[in-house]
Structure 1
Amino acid sequence: MHYDQFETLMSAPRLARYWLSCKASTSQTQQLYKANIRLSQSFLGVLSIFEVVLRNRIDQCYKTIFFDQNGADDWLVSAIHNGGFLTQKGCEKSLVKIRAAYNKLGKHYTHDKLVAELSFGVWVFLFAGKQYQAGGNILLSIFPKRPRKLNQKVIYQKLNQINSLRNRVAHHEPICFGPTNTISANYARLHFQHIVDLLTWMDVDATALFEDIFSCTNEMDALERFA
């Protein structure tokens, strides 16, 4: 496609950063934009699998703890009702989002449907200071292989960065740049390593888990060659 057509479809403001990093080469700008799309696509499967593993580990942890403590069949519903741990001060954002998801399901509610309805950000925020404390300071138990020096704050920071990557991919924002608009896979590599680290600390074999969908490493290598 001729660049003028491509720019009309994508918009000049959206392409500006790519155009600058490619030193005003229109052919390279178009190639870099598509390389970023391929890199983003390659992360979708990795992010999807990681999200499901994380939420299932959190769900199982809280299911066990809260059932043992008070016989609650659904810790999520218990958490958002009167006296639930997410009704404590400082947990309002989590409370609102989970209540909204619960109300949306209405008569179709089941625990598994509610788990699936919640966004990745909701699961990440369960490691934020207030939510983590309100939940009994127990969620680090899902990372039995983590280095001893790593506390809740470090885990939360890594999860938050992964969530930022997920949001960038979901909103079609670039993940192919380093500082000052340089073309770089460092941002993608750093976040991919966060995912691998967190899975490893959950005692999950990331290589085996991502078998056959490991194309993001190839796309990161391709981007480095492009640079």
Structure 2
Amino acid sequence: MTSERKENPDTPAMLAAVRTSLSPERFATYLRASAGDPDLALRLHTRNTALSAGFYGPLQSVELTLRNTLHRALARRYGAAWFDNPATGLNAYAITEIAQTRAKLKRGRYVPDAPHTVAALSFGFWVALLGPGGSANYAMTLWRPALSAAFPHARLPRKTIHREFDHLRTFRNRIAHHEPIFTRHLAADYAKILTLAGWMCPLTRDWIARHSRIPTLLAADPAQESLF
């Protein structure tokens, strides 16, 4: 792809069309970071896209690991359908999210059973289970009896674990909404992904690191990067 791009460079008309497609407001972010040079701005946008794509896999793995780890911990304590068990002590936000998720599954003609419900709940839902829970007091209803066991390799308080996963949720959402990430300390973001995965399962962390493209992307020459 890189050699083809060199042999057949983008035409001025194509570049102008891409800038329009990105929207003036979005492109302005890259222009400001490129001292007003539109060619450099497009190159920076290309790099941002490549980096975002590279982070998708590691973030997906951490999200799936968190979801399934928390589900197993809650199921051991409150049963496979823990979200229907009043003893779980979920707060109003969680109850509403579960109800809306199951209603959406029904509209899509899926069975709103435990596997489908667990898979359909958002990353934000799972991260919120690590939070204080408001009047539900998750420290007593969720953390101590169940969720603390989900992090066997992290000797840390609930507040710290929740804060770190919530930071990761914010980063994940920036990528999901196609926002710029090039100004972030991306090496630190990647290290955090590996750290949080390791809190739950060191072998999964090692697998993520083994297959991740992030170190290569961070070390790459931006001029050689392509969108696809």
CA contact (8 A) 2:52 2:181 kept: yes
Structure number with greater CO (CA < 8 Å, separation at least 6) is: 2
Hey, what's the Cα distance between the residues in 2 that align with 1:204 and 1:60?
17
User: CA-to-partner distance for each residue in 1:129-152, whole Å, 9 max, x for gaps?
Assistant: 126323252312211111x3x211
Maintained 8 Å contact 2:194/2:209: no
- Would you say 1:116 and 2:119 are equivalent positions? yes
- Counterpart selection for 1:202 from 200, 203, 223: 200
Aligned residue for 2:131? 128
- Cα deviation, 1:164-194, whole Å, max 9, x if unaligned, reads 111101100011014xxxxxxx1x2222222
Aligned to 1:20: 32
Q: Does the alignment pair 1:85 with 2:84? A: no
User: 2: CA distance between counterparts of 1:159 and 1:211?
Assistant: 22
Q: Residue 75 of structure 1 aligns with which residue?
A: 82
Match of 2:7 in 1: none
TM-score (norm 2): 0.81
Change in CA separation of 1:136 and 1:152 when aligned onto 2, cut-off 3 Å = closer
Asked if 1:161 corresponds to 2:178, the answer is no
Quote the RMSD (CA, aligned, Å): 2.2
| Runs of 4+ displaced beyond 6 Å | 223-226
Classify 1:207/1:35 alpha carbon distance in 2 versus 1 (closer, same or farther; 3 Å). same
Give, in whole Å, the separation in 2 of the partners of 1:21 and 1:209. Answer: 31
Change (3 A) 1:197 1:110: same
Is 1:171–2:183 an aligned residue pair?
A: no
**For residues 149 and 222 of structure 2, what CA distance do their matches in structure 1 show?**
37
Is the Cα contact below 8 Å between 2:168 and 2:193 reproduced in 1?
yes
Match of 1:45 among 46, 57, 61: 57
**Contact 2:70–2:147 (8 Å) recurs in 1:** yes
Seen in structure 2, the aligned counterparts of structure 1 residues 100 and 211 have a Cα distance that, compared at 3 Å, is same
Q: Distance in 2 between matches of 1:122 and 1:223?
A: 38
- The answer to whether the 8 Å contact 1:58/1:142 transfers is yes
Looking at structure 1, the residues matched to 183 and 208 of structure 2 have their Cα atoms a distance apart, in angstroms, of 28
- Asked if structure 2 preserves the Cα contact closer than 8 Å seen for 1:143 and 1:198, the reply is no
**1:104: how far off?**
2.6
Spell out, residue by residue over 1:76-111, the C-alpha distance to the aligned partner (whole angstroms, 9 max, x if none). Answer: 2225xxx6511xxxx222221111112333471221
Separation of aligned partners in 2, 1:42 and 1:136: 33
Q: Is the 8 A contact 1:143 1:201 kept in 2?
A: yes
- The percent identity for this pair of structures is 26
Task: Give the match for residue 105 of structure 1.
Answer: 105
Structure 2 unaligned spans of 5+: 1-9
**Counterpart of 1:145?**
153
Distance 1:136 1:159, change over 3 A: closer
The verdict on how the C-alpha distance between 1:57 and 1:154 changes in structure 2, with shifts beyond 3 A counting, is: same
- Name the structure 2 match of 1:183: none
Indicate conservation of the 8 Å contact 2:44/2:222, yes or no. Answer: no
